[in-house]
Amino acid sequence: MPGARRVLIDIDGVRTVSWKPLPGAVEALAQLRDLGLPLALLTNTTSRTRASIARTLADAGFPVVADDILTAPAATAAYLAEHFPDARCLLLNSGDIAEDLEGVTLAGDGEDPDVVVVGGAAPECGYRALNEVFGHLQRGARLMATHRNLYSSASSACSRIGGFSSSSHISRIAVSFRALSVPARTARPSGTPCPPVTTCSPGRPATRSSRPG
């Protein structure tokens, strides 16, 4: 690899599929180690810590340690530390990743967060949790996604809601995060009509209507 100074390697679909090594993947990584090139293994998973991922890969034969792994939560923590260093953050995510959120202050129960951080969704991300998040956003909290996936698919054919976009390029996470905010709702003068609402009935095309004020 003439001229290469560092190697960035995706994990899922490149080294493994559902954490099982692809043919030749372990040997290829060992060869890169022998070349002495610094490398990092990248993943946008938000359900596991770097240490947990490293143990799984090491058990499969990969010569890696936790410091070799770069995850979406780790990139999120770096971004928050730089741009929101004193923020209280509410984490909505499947899996305990607190140990990878170095330097991030997690909001306690009953505290209004400054930033809402959303990772991979699971059953705990139901209506009550989402409604609570929406309330925080209305009160001025910023919204941040840990990665840009809409959903994830596993070998079990089970799909889960992911982040907010369709790209999975982890290398863009640290530089392309956009902290989103929802403006506070303004009062609507009495007697004025609501904005048009889109409605749809089975077997009929969607229509736009105005509700009475």
User: Is the pLDDT assigned to residue 152 strictly greater than 70?
Assistant: no
C-alpha distances (whole Å) from 52 to each of 46, 185, 186 are 12, 42, 46
User: Is the pLDDT assigned to residue 150 strictly greater than 80?
Assistant: no
Domains of the chain in sequence order:
7-71 (3.40.50.1000), 83-181 (3.40.50.1000)
Residue 9 or 177, more confident = 9
Instruction: Please state, for a pLDDT cut of 70, what percent of the chain lies above it.
Output: 67
Grade residue 116 by pLDDT with cuts at 50, 70 and 90. Answer: very high
Instruction: Say if CB 89 and CB 104 are below 8 A apart.
Output: yes
b/e burial code for range 131-147 (CB count within 10 A of at least 16 → b): eebeebbeeebbbbbbb
pLDDT of the residue at 163? 47
pLDDT of the residue at 56? 95
- Cβ burial of 67 (10 Å; 0-12, 13-18, 19+) is exposed
d(CA 186, CA 69): 45
d(CA 175, CA 50): 20
User: Is the pLDDT assigned to residue 61 strictly greater than 80?
Assistant: yes
d(CA 131, CA 119): 16
Cα of 203 vs its chain's centroid, Å: 37
User: Is the pLDDT assigned to residue 166 strictly greater than 60?
Assistant: no
Mean of pLDDT values over 134-138: 92
Mean pLDDT of the chain: 75
Grade residue 108 by pLDDT with cuts at 50, 70 and 90. Answer: confident
Q: What is the largest CA-CA distance in the chain?
A: 74
pLDDT of the residue at 153? 57
Q: Tell me which range, 143-152, 168-177, 190-199, is most confidently predicted by mean pLDDT.
A: 143-152
User: Is the pLDDT assigned to residue 159 strictly greater than 50?
Assistant: no
Q: Which residues contact 117 (CB under 8 A, 6 or more apart)?
A: 76, 80, 89, 90, 91, 92, 93, 144, 145, 146
pLDDT of the residue at 95? 84
